[in-house]
Amino acid sequence: MATDRRAQFVKKWRRRAEKTADPFDRFFSAWIALVVAAQRSRDCFGPLAEDDTDRKRVEDYSSAKKTAILSAVGAHKVEMEWIAERRGMRYGDALVDTGNRDLRSTFSRLSRYYTEDEPMPEDERVEAIAQLLNKIRNNVFHGIKVYDDKDDIALLEKVNPVLLAILRETEESETEAG
């Protein structure tokens, strides 16, 4: 059954991420696991829209797995606070630089949630985390993040435990539900 093979594929890539010491390899492997888990979950919704993307799948998956994701992220408060204090290297935007005005606003709110205890509804927080992971993915995959840059390595070293916790929590929630 295809679903069972994909569940094993997700575990394989998560384990690969957990084993490697390289923060870029860890992020790549974990991202692959997350996208496959999101697609696996998406299949229950029927045919995909033409504008369906990995970003959209991860956002929808995050929304569907909100409780598990908030639990995973909550267990990594120190890492999230560090990420929230971070500013993009080029323009100084909250968390990471982006040319997208809506994302800048979202990332600023997420930053203030962790740094200033500004209220942020759970749905918005989960969506912001999914968007942040996707933005980092875009920067890593498209070469904006540099493999020997100490700031880029530091970001991945903080985000990777969060991403791996999300994978473990969502995997456990699926096991309990299934």
- The pLDDT tens digits for 83-133 are 999 998 888 889 898 989 999 999 999 999 999 999 999 999 999 999 999
Cα-to-chain-centroid distance, residue 133: 3
Helices within 1-100 (DSSP H only): 2-19, 23-42, 54-64, 66-74, 77-85
Q: Which of 40-44, 59-63, 68-72, 147-151 has the lowest mean pLDDT?
A: 40-44
Residue 47 lies in a domain: no
Is 0.85 surpassed by the pTM of this model?
yes
- Backbone dihedral region for residue 20 (phi beyond 0: left; psi -120 to 50: alpha; all else: beta): beta
Look at residue 48 in the predicted model and tell me its pLDDT. Answer: 57
What is the C-alpha separation between 54 and 36, in angstroms, rounded? Answer: 9
Residues 126-147: what's their mean pLDDT?
Answer: 86
Residue 106 lies in a domain: yes
Residue 115 lies in a domain: yes
What is the C-alpha separation between 56 and 119, in angstroms, rounded? Answer: 25
Residue 93 lies in a domain: yes
Residue 48 lies in a domain: no
- Please tell me which residue, 149 or 59, carries the higher pLDDT value: 59
pLDDT at 2 over 70: no
Decide: residue 89, CB within 10 A, 0-12 exposed, 13-18 middle, 19+ buried.
middle
Cα-to-chain-centroid distance, residue 165: 10
Domain count, the chain: 1
Residue 146 lies in a domain: yes
Look at residue 111 in the predicted model and tell me its pLDDT. Answer: 97
Look at residue 1 in the predicted model and tell me its pLDDT. Answer: 45
Residue 20 lies in a domain: yes
Domain range enclosing 95: 2-42+53-177
